[in-house]
Amino acid sequence: MTLSPKSAELIERRNMLLGPNVSTFYDEPVHFVKGESVWLWDADGRKYLDCYNNVPHVGHCNPRVVEAICRQASTLNTHTRYLHESILAYVEKLTGTMDASLDTAILTCTGSEANDIALRMAECMTGKRGIISTDATYHGNTSLVSQLGNSNVPNAGFGLGQYFRFVKAPDSYRNPDPDGTKFADAVAEQIAEHEKSGVGFAALVVCPYFLNEGFPDNPGGWLKPAAEMTRKAGGLLICDEVQSGFGRTGTHMWAHEKMGVLPDVMTLGKPMANGHPVGGVVTRSEILATFRKGYRYFNTFGGNPVSCAAAMAVLEEIEDKQLLANAQTVGDHARARLETLQQKYDFIGDVRGSGLIFGAEMVLDCKSKEPASEFTDRVINEMRQRGVIHSKLGRHKNTLKIRPPMPFSKENANLLFDTLEDVFAETAP
């Protein structure tokens, strides 16, 4: 790999100013300077199809969002200790898309903050501290929530590790669990361990679509047994919808609906305001009231008028442009294209996805299902060289992660898969 002089200079400056180990995508990092809808342009003027970024949920530089930010920023921006209507209007509209029981919210700046609050809510409601999550996930980077994934355990953590236990992430390809009972039984085992240790059980935390785990092909209602087990034990079900929410799955506005459960607490982040830093915690009024008694919580920037204007514009854009329906239509088309490729290439072990989250698991051998992690990495880097960006995820980092902005079209999907087929034809595991 030979970096351009400009890229080499930027990487050197990043290392010096931002410190070591700041991640960059791809063997040859991309220097983007412009975005519009599902397109990005680099510093050399080259155009890329964005098949990865869910932060610009309604498209890069969406005009409605840009106008809302500019309008509000030129009028007023302050914090929630002063009265302003925009936060109330936004929370009303947001909770109006959910079950009636989810009627109150705290707005934050990030999904990490939201998940941190959710865990503290669980402690306040139960009087216990034991948390369960999957062993191949990610829920944020505060001292508390960084403990939620044991695939990347921090070297330090203020002795918090004792409060976290893990269940094996669902894997519909290698370990089918069609009705979710195996997963629920595993949750029950870890609940018992928390209780035996004296920590006690407070909450089960999951992305209801298990995106980081490789979005296994679990049917509707799959989470019901685990949710029932959680409630029976007196714990809270926390659904992290930072990635899976806002219509991403195409079938529902929220992935927990697709999985047949109603969370006690739902957390939001990345796509909430199309790149403006907004996160949120939505819950029942009694849970929020208990939390506010237990913690004197205040966030200077969370829920400010400009952030709320951006977030409101996102909801309006999803509704007006019928982006949920678009996600389902384009997602069905994309999955069909992937299944066609699967018939042609035996290194595609499994195809899965819903709406505008879809992908395929790469294997060395379909019989053994041995992960083709290095091959997957080569595919992603070759796609980047051809002007299409996406990524990988899952326990073995061998599942193509394709998660484009919501305006993504069938034409965009065809360009993606035509390019992918060219790469497959020239690249072998």
CATH number corresponding to 31-58+322-426 = 3.90.1150.10
User: How high is the pLDDT of residue 153?
Assistant: 64
pLDDT at residue 20, as a whole number: 82
Question: What local confidence, expressed as pLDDT, does residue 158 receive?
Answer: 80
**What's the confidence (pLDDT) of residue 151?**
65
In the prediction, which pLDDT does 65 show?
98
Burial label for 320, CB within 10 Å (0-12, 13-18, 19+), is exposed
Look at residue 335 in the predicted model and tell me its pLDDT.
Answer: 97
Q: Which residues of the chain have pLDDT under 50?
A: none
- Of the candidate CATH numbers 3.30.1180.20, 3.40.640.10, 3.40.50.300, 1.10.10.10, the domain formed by 63-320 belongs to 3.40.640.10
pLDDT confidence of residue 10: 87
Domain ranges for the chain: 31-58+322-426, 63-320
